[in-house]
Structure 1
């Protein structure tokens, strides 16, 4: 499989040079590095119109009960803050999204860390638990600015946490297939805002290439770069990296990299994942089920995936 993916990557790299998709970092004043709330200056435009136009697609994680499985999953996802200096000496602050992995690692996009050519990354951190603007119960944890493993086309980087966030269950990556039309969910920090999820009309595009890139129809914005796409069983399946979807074209799509492709490319990620699986706590002892009794057939219902199927008029 590794050879197959590497061959496909080399071929796809040439095609990607002319692609129209755009990386999705958000940019702020450099003096705001280390702040929890990042507010767009009026002189550079107001982000409220973007947020308002997507209020139906972005669901705040804070609205879920604290013991909700999605909210527990989201604890491993944070806002990645990036302080850099450009060729002209101007400092800037960009934000992406990243996820905590076992062993003190974070995965995000290559275009986030190490970032753009000609720009020096001065400092990086991940903000964990940022659910509501104006509250200071979230924390920054320092990240290395030098990835231990990275790939420009697959657009991923594995970076070391210099501080380990407590009470966070890391994400574990395993090879999981995604078929065209499968329902998905994204947990992210669009425009550097408090954490949200996208699951409304969020699914794998029906038209897919035979390669490492997963096309998807999930609403994202600048700042969503580096977020994870989960399947309906809440398994990590892809790493979002660029936009391209437009409101007036239902065949347009955003782009992500399949986790299976990153695992094939990165020996480090395979080691992280294998070690996590081998040391995963065993399940609780099985209890004998009670005697079965006949019951009337359950009434038909809709899962989260079924709701997306209905909205797609399937």
Structure 2
């Protein structure tokens, strides 16, 4: 069966079991769980999620190649992805004899996404934490860091989660959020126990909390209909502690959370009263924050009209405009949209 990923790339899909992928990738779907097509409000996160394919010698012989989808992945920059290390190794621990590897980023029911060849040499890896960082040979054009941020703390038992992944190895991306939560005893060393429905192909997928903060990378199944069963991810906190490469990528993201947000030296600040949203300037750069301790996003100043402030928010393409002295402001849902009322902007600093 031919599955076209891009105009110049096609795959012949075979079963991943033919490669004897490590058993840690074997996962059992949880009873009563549900997978959804990725809703539009999750697409800003889905555009950084992908699926990894390996090109291997054809099972039919003759010198050809087969391609198999082995895992999910997360782009952490325009040239780096993170996924589960075991996706590249067989059940004996030896590296799968693949001739090329590819990642398809942003493949949903609505979009084909983009496909990139992977560098055969890993940038960083750990067998214990079961992760690899791999470089793409071309720039991931759809990557956006404006919505990416890591959770400051580990999730407590029962905390709602969601996962964006490519379960069953042949599907478009799915969202799992129903019955998806941290297990009652969620942390085991560097690992996060969770109840999110996964299948072979889900390893390497990002797991987020209900505030859209990255908490882990899925690595193994194990959950059944039994109440005491769970699946397993490696915490993103552990990955940042282990890998300087991942740390550097996170530092380059546009968002900040909690204490990092609080540490920003504010020069000027406004509050959109009706929306509990703050706009402020620090070191000649503009930022946006929801509430007093919410997520911080970069804003881009759009004009230099005397007495007015006009700011573009790359996260969702909105444009805001309000008087520099404070007063009634307006918003455009998209740059080409007409202005609509956004209420009072109060200057508080």
Question: Which residue is 1:223 aligned to?
Answer: 201
Question: Could you say which structure has the higher strand fraction?
Answer: 2
SS at match of 2:249: helix
**TM-score of the aligned structures, taking structure 1 as reference length:** 0.67
Cα shift at 1:267 = 1.5
2:160 aligns with one of 169, 183, 186: 183
List alignment gaps of at least 5 residues for structure 2: 17-26, 258-263, 277-349
Match of 2:43, SS? helix
In structure 1, the gaps of 5 or more residues are: 1-28, 42-49, 293-314
Change (3 A) 1:58 1:178: same
CA distance in 2, matches of 1:110, 1:52: 22
Aligned length: 246
User: Could you tell me which of 229, 243, 251 is aligned with 1:252?
Assistant: 229
Please tell me whether the aligned partners of residues 36 and 136 of structure 1 are also in contact (alpha carbons under 8 angstroms): no
TM-score (norm 2): 0.60
Question: Does structure 1 residue 213 correspond to structure 2 residue 185?
Answer: no
Q: Which one has the largest radius of gyration?
A: 2
Q: Say if 2:85 is the partner of 1:101.
A: no
Q: State the match for 2:211 in structure 1.
A: 233
Whether 1:72 and 2:44 are equivalent positions in the alignment is: yes
Specify the alignment match of 2:296 in structure 1.
none
Tell me the C-alpha RMSD between the 2 structures. Answer: 3.9
* 1:288 Cα deviation after fit: 5.4
Residues 114 and 121 of structure 1 are in contact (CA less than 8 Å); yes or no, is this contact kept in structure 2?
A: no
More helix by share: 1
- Quick one: structure 1 residues 268 and 39, their matched pair in 2 at CA, closer, same or farther if it must change by over 3 Å? closer
- 2:34 counterpart residue number: 57
Query: Cα offset for 1:136?
Result: 7.7
Q: 1:139 aligns with which of 104, 114, 132?
A: 114
Give yes or no for the alignment of 1:83 onto 2:47: no
Select which of 283, 289, 313 maps to 2:273: 289
Alignment partner, residue 241 of structure 2: 264
Judged with a 3 Å threshold, the aligned counterparts in structure 2 of structure 1 residues 250 and 163 are, in CA distance, closer, same or farther, namely same
Asked if the contact 2:108–2:173 (Cα under 8 Å) also holds between the matched residues in 1, the reply is yes
